[in-house]
């Protein structure tokens, strides 16, 4: 029995040692094919010089577009301010100001929420309420 166990253990060690041997090295032709494929892929992608040429061409195209004058820019800004003060209110800035004033007045008439939490008694009451809810669950 001991000889059988020793033979079994020796067989396991031999198989592990065989599994750890290095893979066969690639042949020179295989290495050359890998290098050729990598070089071809790099050549197909754009180089820095090509990118610089494209950037220069794009810049030249963008300079051909006529620019807006200062007066045109001011007019555009005024129009945008008039119409976009409040997108939900098409009447302009005066109507928006009135709407804001009405909203402020309305909010001041409503009571503030959770004012009792600012006092120690209110905080204790809230704490007790939360503890009771956690016990009930």
CA–CA separation, 121 and 115 (whole Å): 11
Q: State the DSSP code for 130.
A: H
Does the structure show a pLDDT above 70 at 125? yes
Residues 6+ apart with CB under 8 A from 82: 92, 93
Note the pLDDT of residue 51: 79
pTM of the full structure: 0.24
- Using an 8 Å Cβ cutoff, are 92 and 85 in contact? yes
User: And the tokens for 68?
Assistant: 């807006």
Note the pLDDT of residue 23: 64
Q: What share of the chain is helix, strand, coil (3-state, %, to 5)?
A: 75, 0, 25
- Domain residues of the chain, as ranges? 71-107
pLDDT one-digit tens code per residue, 75-110: 888 777 766 555 566 666 667 778 888 889 988 888
**What number of other Cβ atoms are within 10 A of residue 89's Cβ?**
15
Q: Which band of pLDDT confidence, cut at 50, 70 and 90, is reported for residue 49? A: low
What average pLDDT score do residues 50-65 get? 82
Find the helix or strand (DSSP H, E) in which 121 lies.
Answer: helix 120-136
């Amino acid at each position: 029995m001991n000889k059988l166990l020793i033979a079994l253990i020796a067989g396991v060690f031999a198989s592990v040692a065989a599994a750890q041997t290095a893979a066969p090295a690639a042949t020179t032709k295989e290495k050359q094919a890998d290098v050729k494929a990598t070089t071809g892929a790099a050549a197909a992608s754009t180089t820095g010089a090509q990118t610089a040429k494209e950037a220069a061409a794009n810049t030249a195209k963008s300079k051909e577009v006529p620019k807006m004058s200062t007066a045109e820019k001011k007019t555009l800004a005024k129009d945008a301010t008039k119409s976009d003060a409040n997108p939900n209110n098409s009447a302009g800035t005066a109507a928006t100001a009135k709407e804001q004033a009405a909203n402020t007045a309305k909010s001041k008439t409503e009571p503030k929420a959770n004012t009792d939490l600012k006092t120690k008694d209110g905080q204790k009451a809230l704490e007790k309420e939360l503890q009771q809810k956690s016990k009930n669950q």
